[in-house]
């Protein structure tokens, strides 16, 4: 089976789907691996390193796609510099594995179905014990949480840690983390390592102990409902709980120097948790880093990809934070993809077991159809509008 790794075409994307160490594993398993020239350059992996690992180097995108049975990517298929869609280069019946975010990329999904491509999305892989090694969401969220604190430290006009000097004491900054999934927990740990006083909240009761174990203070609605859904994600809240939780957030934001938001519903939808009124109640010089900016943002004033200042409060909406640390991000992502491929590798090829829970969960398009339930619902909803 021929596995292909094209160079990412999305602007600013520095990661690569496979790194040389993973190529070695796949070649050892009997795969033929082709890597487009320069695919790893943004993450500092040379063509020579791929050749040494056993890959062949394709001169351009058409060459790498030409005979590919299974294409591994980071981003959804996009447009090449010559204007062609990458979907056009995928062979009918071939396989695609990437972070497709299908409900956000309905047009791409429909094109993949029409092209008869069997597409898997890493963000739809079930969050089960067996699938932990394939979990790109957690790998990338870990990086995003870490980098968000570093961004906050740069943007904040204060120190994060306490300093005792001959000129007097500078007290530690107060950091408030909203959402204690993988990104939020890493943000808490990083802020603590930098010496900040950290408070955090989440609508799932189970994470309160995890927050406290990292040395942070948990704040939440007393005696409230548990909003944990399947797979450990948060679900939408009742209006009364939302009102009470908003009060907690407003009060804590007003007392904080830095607010880092990481909340997603079902892993994909960013609820609006910080209102313009809450921002107005914060101290001038405070910083909000909205890690959920790519999904629309947790702050209603967030502009994805931009930094705005409102009432002296700086609101940062970074996009694709993992790509800002491309070397390690690529290594982790590559290991996740390799684990997925090898889990179903049999007799020198990928065994498409449609009844397997991991394949069934991650499968988005197959045999000319969109087969992923939430994506089908999103397409139907769009068609009705």
Residue 225 clears pLDDT 70, i.e. is over it: no
Count how many domains the chain has.
2
Task: Return the pLDDT at 382.
Answer: 85
Lowest mean pLDDT among 13-17, 234-238, 364-368: 234-238
Last residue of a domain, one of 301, 319, 337: 319
Q: Assess whether 221 and 288 both reside in one domain.
A: yes
Q: Assess whether 193 and 313 both reside in one domain.
A: yes
User: Whole-angstrom Cα distance, residue 245 to residue 333?
Assistant: 34
Q: How confident is the model at residue 383 (pLDDT cuts 50, 70, 90)?
A: confident
Q: Assess whether 315 and 331 both reside in one domain.
A: no
Q: Assess whether 20 and 85 both reside in one domain.
A: yes
Mean predicted confidence (pLDDT) in 210-215: 97
Q: Assess whether 129 and 168 both reside in one domain.
A: no
Q: pLDDT by residue (tens digit) across 352-379?
A: 999 999 999 999 999 999 999 999 999 9
Residue 125 clears pLDDT 90, i.e. is over it: yes
Last residue of a domain, one of 319, 351, 371: 319
* Close Cβ partners of 218 (under 8 Å, ≥ 6 residues apart): 199, 200, 201, 202, 208, 211, 212
Lowest mean pLDDT among 208-212, 228-232, 251-255, 341-345: 228-232
CATH of the domain at 235: 3.40.50.720
Q: Assess whether 297 and 167 both reside in one domain.
A: yes
Task: Return the pLDDT at 70.
Answer: 98
List Cα–Cα distances, 296 to 23, 50, 250, 305, 364, in angstroms.
Answer: 35, 37, 20, 10, 23
Q: Assess whether 110 and 74 both reside in one domain.
A: yes
Encode the chain in three state secondary structure.
CEEEECCCCCCCCCCCCCCHHHHHHHHHCCCEEEEECCCCHHHCCCHHHHHHHCCEEECCHHHHHHCCCEEECCCCCCECCCCCEHHHHCCCCCEEEECCCHHHCHHHHHHHHHCCCEEEEHHHCCCCCCCHHHCHHHHHHHHHHHHHHHHHHHHCCCCCCCEEECCEEECCCEEEEECCCHHHHHHHHHHHHCCCEEEEECCCHHHHHHHHHCCCEECCCCCCCCCECHHHCECCCCHHHHHHHHHHHHHHHHCCCEEEECCCECCCECCCCECHHHHHCCCCCCEEEEHHHHHCCCECCCCCCCEEEECCEEEECCCCHHHHCHHHHHHHHHHHHHHHHHHCEECCEECCCCCCHHHHHHEEEECCEECCHHHHHHHHHHHHC
Q: 113, 368 in Cβ contact below 8 A?
A: yes
Residue 230 clears pLDDT 70, i.e. is over it: no
Task: Return the pLDDT at 228.
Answer: 55
Task: Return the pLDDT at 381.
Answer: 87
Residue 29 clears pLDDT 80, i.e. is over it: yes
Last residue of a domain, one of 319, 336, 354: 319
Q: Assess whether 248 and 302 both reside in one domain.
A: yes
Q: How confident is the model at residue 189 (pLDDT cuts 50, 70, 90)?
A: very high
Mean pLDDT, all residues of the chain:
94
Residue 227 clears pLDDT 80, i.e. is over it: no
Task: Return the pLDDT at 238.
Answer: 74
Q: Assess whether 45 and 87 both reside in one domain.
A: yes
Mean predicted confidence (pLDDT) in 61-65: 95
Mean predicted confidence (pLDDT) in 290-306: 97
Mean predicted confidence (pLDDT) in 241-270: 92
Active-site positions? 127, 132, 135, 138, 233
Domain that holds residue 263: 142-319
Task: Return the pLDDT at 266.
Answer: 75
User: Whole-angstrom Cα distance, residue 161 to residue 164?
Assistant: 10
Q: pLDDT by residue (tens digit) across 151-167?
A: 999 999 999 999 999 99
CA atoms within 13 A on the CB side of 286: 23
Q: Assess whether 308 and 332 both reside in one domain.
A: no
Sign of the dihedral through C-alpha 20, 21, 22, 23: positive
Q: Assess whether 12 and 99 both reside in one domain.
A: yes
Q: pLDDT by residue (tens digit) across 306-339?
A: 999 999 999 999 999 999 999 999 999 999 999 9
Report the b/e string of 187-197 with b at 16+ CB within 10 A: bbbbbbebebb
Residue 72 clears pLDDT 70, i.e. is over it: yes
Q: Assess whether 258 and 295 both reside in one domain.
A: yes
């Amino acid at each position: 089976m021929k596995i292909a790794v094209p160079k990412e075409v999305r602007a600013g994307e520095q990661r690569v789907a496979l790194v040389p160490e993973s190529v070695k594993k796949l070649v050892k398993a009997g795969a033929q691996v082709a890597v487009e020239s320069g695919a790893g350059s943004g993450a500092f992996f040379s063509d020579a390193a791929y050749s040494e690992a056993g890959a062949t180097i394709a001169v351009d995108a058409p060459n790498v796609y030409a005979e590919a049975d299974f294409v591994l990517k980071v981003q959804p298929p996009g447009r090449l510099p010559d204007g062609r869609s990458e979907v056009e280069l995928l062979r009918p019946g071939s396989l695609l594995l990437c972070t497709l975010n299908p409900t956000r990329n309905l047009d791409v999904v429909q094109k993949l179905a029409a092209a008869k491509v069997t597409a898997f999305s890493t963000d739809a892989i079930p969050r089960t014990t067996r699938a932990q090694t394939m979990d790109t969401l957690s790998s990338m969220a870990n990086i995003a949480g870490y980098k968000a604190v570093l961004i906050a430290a740069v943007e904040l006009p204060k120190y994060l840690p306490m300093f005792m000097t001959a000129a007097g004491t500078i007290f530690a900054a107060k950091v408030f983390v909203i959402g204690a999934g993988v990104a939020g927990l890493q943000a808490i740990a990083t802020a603590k390592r930098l010496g900040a006083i950290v408070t955090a909240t989440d609508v799932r009761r189970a994470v309160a102990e995890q927050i406290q174990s990292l040395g942070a203070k948990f704040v939440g609605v007393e005696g409230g409902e548990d909003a944990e859904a399947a797979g450990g994600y948060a679900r939408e809240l009742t209006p009364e709980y939302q009102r009470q939780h908003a009060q907690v957030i407003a009060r804590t934001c007003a007392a904080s120097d830095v607010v880092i938001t990481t909340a997603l519903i079902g892993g994909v939808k960013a609820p609006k948790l910080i209102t313009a009124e809450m921002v107005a109640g914060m101290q001038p010089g405070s910083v909000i880093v909205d890690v959920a900016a790519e999904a629309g943002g947790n702050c209603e004033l967030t502009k994805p990809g931009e930094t705005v200042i409102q009432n002296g409060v700086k609101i940062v909406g970074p996009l694709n934070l993992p790509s800002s640390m491309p070397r390690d991000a690529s290594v982790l992502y590559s290991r996740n993809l390799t684990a997925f491929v090898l889990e179903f590798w049999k007799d020198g090829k990928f065994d498409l077991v449609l009844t397997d829970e991991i394949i069934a969960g991650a499968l988005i398009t197959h045999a000319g159809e969109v087969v992923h339930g939430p994506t089908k619902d999103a397409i139907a909803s769009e068609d009705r509008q």
